[in-house]
């Protein structure tokens, strides 16, 4: 049995199979898994990962777990469950902590074992699953959600903690001063609930240019939305669409924009793009839904608005925010060093 050595932990991180790490494209939770694995390793801990076959994370030990392919086939997703159970049971006495970013069902194999367990939610929480788990004998399990708003909608019982999402602020560069004609930006998957059409309307109403960056959803309804409500308004001059962007391009475009518009029409659990913008010193102007009220510090890292009229007013007041102070305030709350310590503090 090899566990805690010289005060450092032996940690296992789990993620649903389907997307390989390092990422080649889309992958929200996988991006977090890779980042926390590297940070835990940097802190001196021994890190193992149970993730998609073929994945690699520098300094960590990777155990293969299911095929690449997103979204995964239902049969592959089902087959992953007994694989996780077998692995966890076989190694139940070897780890100090199991940090699960995948399906709750994986933890059934060690639910009543003394090993410490963190079950992290970044998507909607199923109250039924939580009620079922809490009826079973269990030990040392903490549930975390990426916002109070998310937890309030799904948590029913058990030990819950809010631990916000994070980014590595060292990967982003603050741009302190911008010209008056710097554009606004909308960055995210182009779906109706993300509010790209509203961002266009706000840019036009405030006589600003708008950069639209992100992938077009392949879902039929969303493809129709783009075709009918977004594409006709893209003129290549005031309203520009630059497609999907990688991390380097994201840093560049966020940095040269005066504000990120985040006019969501749903209760988004977190919205990592908000803190990516803040890391570049770019304030966020958002509709107050989901986690927005928790993430944005009013007048420091952005503005929280209730409707399009308030959003237009906020755009006209954006120069009142100091971009360096915006980044500093956000880094104290959302940098990976801060959030990793919060997780291990549990």
Q: Which of 132, 163, 194 is the last residue of a domain?
A: 163
Reported as a single tens digit per residue, the pLDDT across 187-207 is: 999 999 999 999 999 999 999
Domain count across the chain: 2
The answer to whether position 38 is within a domain reads yes
pLDDT surpasses 60 at 1: no
Reported as a single tens digit per residue, the pLDDT across 55-98 is: 999 999 999 998 888 777 888 888 999 999 999 999 999 999 99
pLDDT surpasses 60 at 294: yes
The answer to whether position 346 is within a domain reads no
Range of the domain at 63: 10-163
Phi-psi region of 44 (alpha: psi -120 to 50; beta: other; left: phi over 0): left
Going by pLDDT thresholds of 50, 70 and 90, the confidence category of residue 27 is low
Going by pLDDT thresholds of 50, 70 and 90, the confidence category of residue 3 is low
Q: Which of 129, 144, 163 is the last residue of a domain?
A: 163
Q: Is the pTM of this model over 0.95?
A: no
pLDDT at 5: 61
The answer to whether position 43 is within a domain reads yes
Residues 158 and 253 in one domain: no
Sheet containing 184-187: which strands, arranged edge to edge? 239-243, 210-213, 184-187, 259-262, 284-287, 302-305
List CB contacts of 33: < 8 A, sequence separation 6 or more.
13, 15, 21, 49, 51, 101
Q: CATH number for the domain including 143? A: 3.40.50.2000
Residues 327 and 179 in one domain: yes
The answer to whether position 3 is within a domain reads no
Reported as a single tens digit per residue, the pLDDT across 205-230 is: 999 999 999 999 888 999 999 999 99
265-300 residues labelled b (16+ CB within 10 A) or e (exposed): eebbbbbbbbbbbbbbbbbbbbbebbbbebbbbeeb
Residues 322 and 214 in one domain: yes
């Amino acid at each position: 049995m090899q566990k805690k050595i010289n005060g450092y932990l032996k940690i296992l991180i789990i993620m649903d199979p389907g997307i390989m790490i390092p990422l080649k494209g889309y992958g929200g939770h996988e991006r977090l898994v890779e980042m926390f694995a590297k940070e835990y390793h940097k802190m001196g801990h021994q890190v193992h990962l149970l993730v998609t076959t073929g994945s690699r994370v520098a300094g960590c030990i990777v155990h293969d777990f299911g095929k690449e392919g997103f979204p995964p086939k239902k049969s592959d997703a089902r087959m992953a469950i007994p694989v996780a159970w077998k692995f966890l049971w076989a190694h139940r006495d070897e780890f100090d902590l199991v940090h699960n970013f995948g399906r709750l069902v994986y933890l059934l194999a060690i639910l009543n074992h003394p090993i410490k367990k963190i079950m992290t939610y970044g998507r909607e929480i199923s109250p039924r699953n939580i009620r079922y788990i809490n009826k079973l004998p269990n030990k040392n399990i903490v549930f975390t959600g990426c916002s109070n708003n998310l937890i309030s909608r799904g948590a029913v019982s058990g030990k819950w903690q809010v631990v916000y999402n994070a980014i590595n602020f060292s990967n982003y560069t603050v741009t302190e001063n911008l010209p008056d004609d710097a554009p606004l930006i909308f960055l995210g998957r182009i779906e109706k609930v993300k509010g790209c059409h509203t961002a266009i309307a706000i840019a036009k109403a405030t006589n600003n240019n708008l950069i639209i960056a992100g992938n077009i959803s392949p879902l039929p309804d969303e493809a129709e939305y783009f075709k009918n409500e977004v594409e006709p308004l893209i003129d290549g001059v005031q309203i520009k669409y630059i497609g999907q962007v990688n991390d380097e391009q994201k840093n560049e475009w966020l940095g040269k924009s005066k504000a990120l518009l985040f006019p969501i029409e749903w209760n988004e659990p977190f919205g990592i793009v908000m803190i990516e913008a803040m890391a570049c010193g770019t304030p966020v102007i958002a509709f107050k839904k989901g986690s927005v009220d928790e993430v944005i510090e009013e007048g420091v890292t952005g503005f929280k608005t209730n409707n399009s009229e308030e959003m237009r007013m906020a755009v006209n007041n954006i120069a009142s925010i100091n971009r360096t102070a915006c980044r500093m305030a956000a880094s104290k709350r959302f940098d990976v060093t801060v959030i990793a310590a919060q997780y291990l503090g549990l």
